Structure 1
Amino acid sequence: MLARSLICRLAADAPKTKTSAHDLPQLARLLQRSILNRNGLTPPAANARARAGKSALVHYRRSYATATATVKKPAAKKPAATKPTATVKKAVKTTAASKTPAAAAKKKKAPAAKKKPAAKKKPAAKKKKPTVKPKAKRAKKELTPDEKERAKVREYKAKALQPPSRSPVSGYMVFVGEALKGTTNATGPQATRMQATTQKWKSLTPAELEHYNHIAQERTEARQAEFDAWVLSHTPEQITAANTARNHLRRIRRTSSGRSIGPQYVAKLQDPRHVVRVQTSYIRFMTERYASNDLKNIKFADAAKLISNEWKALSASEKEKYNNAYAVEKQARTQT
């Protein structure tokens, strides 16, 4: 009882802190000292009291251990486990390594290496464009006189135009066309067939000849109408240029030997829109002399000299007829 009361007093005198089973030996030593000091340090009594105190302490220890074992503390809630990211793991490793003395020594010994500046990239060299050599101009081939003339003929033919044919159709042509219509695959030479056709033409009656002539006249008129429509489909300037080119072709055909230029490129194109100049008195006289057929089979140069001499030999009264005709036509043109 005495030991228990002492322990309770010591517990009350001690500062108000949490005590545990680890503080009991200190309490026991403190109790022994206090008892010895109090009772005059008598060995028999001190030993008896020490044994009593030890037994009380043992009993107190057992009672304290059982009390603490029966009382269970509530389990603290553990936070939800989260997987540490790679960056957290790296940070933990680095901090753990830095805490070790070896790592600290390495840090002190090894100075931080200076980072080398990144090498600047050289700009890519610009690709040079391949130089293309200009093609050498071919030397123009010199044309021969014959080749030059052929080139002119091609140029004039392109300007001359090619109208539909307006040549008149005869009754004989109509008869021959009907007679040879279905004999393209006939046997025998063509000359003999033409001779037989000509004999038949001569043996025709006047009524039959009149029939073929009438058909020929209709075809001639149809050709002329087609030609006039073709002329009007072009401008007067185009017809004038075509006639100029036809004049050049006519001269080439006369001067060149062996040159084949068809009549379709030589004949003059008649355009009703073309304004004809008023004929002078001398031109009227010359036209009248050619129409008389007195100068037939005479060269043009010689005929022109004869007409000129005749015109000079005329008197004023004889020339008055031609002068009056010229004045009347000229006045009519000016009024229109």
Structure 2
Amino acid sequence: MIFQSGRSIACLSQLKVQCLHSRQSLVSSKVDRVAGAIALLSPYSALSSYLCASVSARTYAGRPASRPKQHTGRSTSTRVPKAASKKPAAQPAAKSATKTKKATPKKPKAKRARKAKPKSKSKAKKTLTEAQKASRAVKERRNQIQKYKAQALTPPSSRSRTTAWTVFAAESVKGTKGTKPAMASAFKDAGVKYRSFQPEDLEHYNHLANQVKEQATRDYRQFIASKSPSEIKQANNARRQLKRIAKQNKNARVPPAYKVMLKDERQVKHPRIAYNYFYTERNASNDYKGMAVPTRSGLLGKEWKELSASAKKPYEDKAAADNLRYRQEVKTVLGEDVPPPKKVTT
């Protein structure tokens, strides 16, 4: 700029004026101002003529105004633009003289057979001691008993063994509370009184015992009637299993009530074979009277084997009719598939 920080160019030394002359940031819009400033320097003829020659010699005075660039302090050496080094255009690669062969389709790679994984070695079974085996058997038997007891059903007690004494003893001990010696003393006193009963007293307690039996029988029949024939059959099968377990293992805890079969008149009776009809008929006669059962059975079996086919025919007809009756009742009463017919002859 011609004016810097409010100072006139006249106050500048000749060296600074030369520095201003070397600046390239002077634009055409400022030329008039420079000329006016130089006119003020008329007393200094040498300096004014120098500046005027410098301003007129500048080639950028006729250019359009542009924003002055910041002074960088570089010297006024003329810059020669470097010739842009043009790289030679890459020529396309020469085609090979030999024509490329058509690409042959690649054959699919054969799949590698996977190696079978080695089977994991099975762990050796732990050998159990005799005590451990016995403990496991007891546990399994206990689980079986619980399973069969759940299937066996629990009807009310029939109280078939109720007597006049049991009714009187229960009445005598009813209000007694205490230890076992006290209960034993109460039973002892009840026994003394029972032995001194008069006939009318005994008849009274017999009547009460009969009433208890009749009520228990009604409750039992009502319980059986509330269950279907199939449920009663399943319960009896479970009771047979419990009876078998108790017979094979004396230490098995099977209550005696579960060893008795449930009585249901709706259950289908199994068919009889021809020999059963023959045995019943011959046993009713007096030919084998007074003989032991094993001896009588042996003689009847021998006689059955000696009968001819015509003599066995009436008994076989009865067995065939009974078998047909069984198959029909199984279908209607139990609603189960009819089992294959059994062989009616022995």
Scaled by the length of structure 1, what TM-score is found?
Answer: 0.46
Q: Over alpha carbons, which structure has the higher Rg?
A: 1
The structure with more helix, counted as a fraction of residues: 1
Q: Which has the higher contact order (CA 8 A, sep 6+)?
A: 1
